[in-house]
Amino acid sequence: MDKLWAGRTDGQNAALADEFNRSIAVDCRMFRQDIEGSMAHAAMLGAKGILPQGSVKQILDGLQTILEDLSSGALVIDPNAEDIHSFVEFELTRRIGDAGKMLHTARSRNDQVALDLRLYLKHEAQEVIGLVKALIGSILTVAKANAGAVMPGYTHLQRAQPVTFGHWILAYGFMLERDGKRLNNAVELMNVSPLGAAALAGTTYPIDRDDTAGRLGFSGVSLNSLDAVSDRDFCVELAGALSILMMHLSRLAEESVLFSSWEFKFIELSDAFSTGSSIMPQKKNPDIAELVRGKTGRVYGDLVTLLTLLKGLPLAYNKDMQEDKEAIFDALDTAKACLSVIAPMLETMTVKQENLRKAAAEGFINATDCADYLVKKGMPFRTSYQITGQIVAACIASKQTLETLPLKEYQTFSELFESDVYAAVDLDVCVKARTSLGGASPESVQQQITALTEYIGHD
């Protein structure tokens, strides 16, 4: 296939160099954005009198038929084309003749690819936001069904204080809410049009950049042509937001792996989202959760690829930047796949509420409430803390719990203990008493559910 840049050179690369230079296999997915950008550019050239209206109509009609044929499969992208821009322009010229050669007036592939990439990533990021909200919806379903299921909350992976399973899983809902907002912020920052920057210095044609920006749904235009064609901050920022999102999914996956183990038995993943062992017939492996955890490193790698790619580039466009798309596309594809699979995995799992309760009862997670009981009786907290620690040690030695320790033994540690201590250390009471905003009480959990429900209901 001929090269758009043939002229100064004869356009005849060595076959090996041709293959090395070709990006069509990666950037072909942007065909829709490339055509839409070209249509906006052509319409603006016609409106400004830069191209005759008859030629503009030919171009627009030709581009529309190419878009329709590519969408339907009637036209197949030539894998030997240099890139999607070359393919579309050559196909247009093949269909409408010399009018197709006018399309590139006042435009370079440099601002063209920057435009296509912004358009594509805007669309993809919105899809990810939709998947994030869908996952939050799955989390809300689980939280509502388990809002009263008492379980241990952990610090240092040691049983710490009583919470509920609903409260626990809602923590991931709020992580994901932040992810959605970060992604939305990335979209807002990338929502400026580079079209019209041309190769790097703008153009001598009397173009209207605001016109094309408006046609393509951008909120404004880039104000420096050098920056417009060399900026890939929007790729890095999106990859960064996706990396944080994947970190959150990985943490959720990690706890899903732990909680589904025999050592915890807090949940059981459905057969539809588990696998077996080829040699051990008793095994039920949380492979889906493990893969989500594993794929997180892949997205991190994509972010580092982009940062490393850009760190030493002089202004303006450099061919190195062709490598941006494979990294950001992979990050998007990976995040979307993980979001799509983890939502139904959560919805179909079984929460073992009786095992949650048993673990909560055995871990002295109501010790803080015992100390607080003494504080409410007038004892300084640090003193009550020490006494409660001694009581826990005594319970462990006698194989008792705070709920079963006789009152007389309580009173050997402090005369402030009375029979109401048993209500104070009751696990349900402990949870219900945590009424501070964001706490584990049923009222607080319901507030959290309401807040997340409002978030996913917003466009």
pLDDT digits (tens, 9 = 90+) for 285-332: 999 999 999 999 999 999 999 999 999 999 999 999 999 999 999 999
Domain 111-358 maps to which CATH number in 1.10.10.10, 3.40.50.11740, 1.20.200.10, 3.40.50.720?
1.20.200.10
Query: pLDDT grade, residue 3 (50/70/90)?
Result: low
Structure tokens at 192: 């400026």
Asked whether the predicted pLDDT for residue 5 surpasses 50, the reply is no
User: Domain spanning 361-457: which superfamily?
Assistant: Fumarase/aspartase (C-terminal domain) (1.10.40.30)
Q: DSSP of 31-89, one letter per residue?
A: HHHHHHHHHHHHHHHHHTTSS-HHHHHHHHHHHHHHHHHHHHTSS---TTSSSHHHHHH
Tokens representing residue 202 in the block? 């703008």
**Residue 137 · residue 456 · CB < 8 Å:** yes
φ and ψ of 206, to 5 deg: -80, 65
Identify the H or E element spanning 200: none
Write the pLDDT tens digit of every residue in 271-282.
Answer: 999 998 888 888
Active site residues: 156, 277
Task: Compute CA distances 71 → 51, 64, 91, whole Å.
Answer: 28, 11, 15
Q: Give the Cα separation of 115 and 194 in Å (integer).
A: 6
- Cα angle: 50, vertex 52, 58; to 5 degrees: 120
CATH architecture type of domain 15-105: Orthogonal Bundle (1.10)
Share of the chain above pLDDT 70, in %: 97
* Residue 365 vs residues 154, 298, 357, 369, 431: alpha-carbon distances, Å: 9, 38, 11, 8, 11
What DSSP string describes 141-178? HHHHHTTT-EEEEEETTEEEEEEEHHHHHHHHHHHHHH
What tens digit of pLDDT does each residue of 123-173 get? 999 999 999 999 999 999 999 999 999 999 999 999 999 999 999 999 999
Selection from 181, 182, 190, 160 nearest residue 367 by Cα: 160
DSSP state of 266: S
- Say what the pTM is: 0.93
pLDDT tens string 25-76: 999 999 999 999 999 999 999 999 999 999 999 999 999 999 999 999 999 9
Strands 220-221 and 267-268: unpaired
Residues of the chain with CATH 1.10.275.10: 15-105
Helix (H, G, I), strand (E, B) or coil at 223: coil
Q: What is the rounded average pLDDT of the residues 162-187?
A: 98
Boundaries of CATH 1.10.40.30 in the chain? 361-457
Separation CA 313–CA 297 (nearest Å): 25
Q: Residues of CATH 1.20.200.10 domain(s) within the chain?
A: 111-358
Helices (H) and strands (E) in the chain, counts: 19, 6
Residue 213 has pLDDT above 60, yes or no: yes
Angle between helices 53-72 and 31-47 (to 10 degrees): 170
Q: Determine the average pLDDT of the residues in 172-178.
A: 98
| 456 vs 459: CA distance, rounded Å | 8
> 19 or 231, which is more confident?
231
Per the model's pLDDT, the better-predicted residue between 312 and 10 turns out to be 312
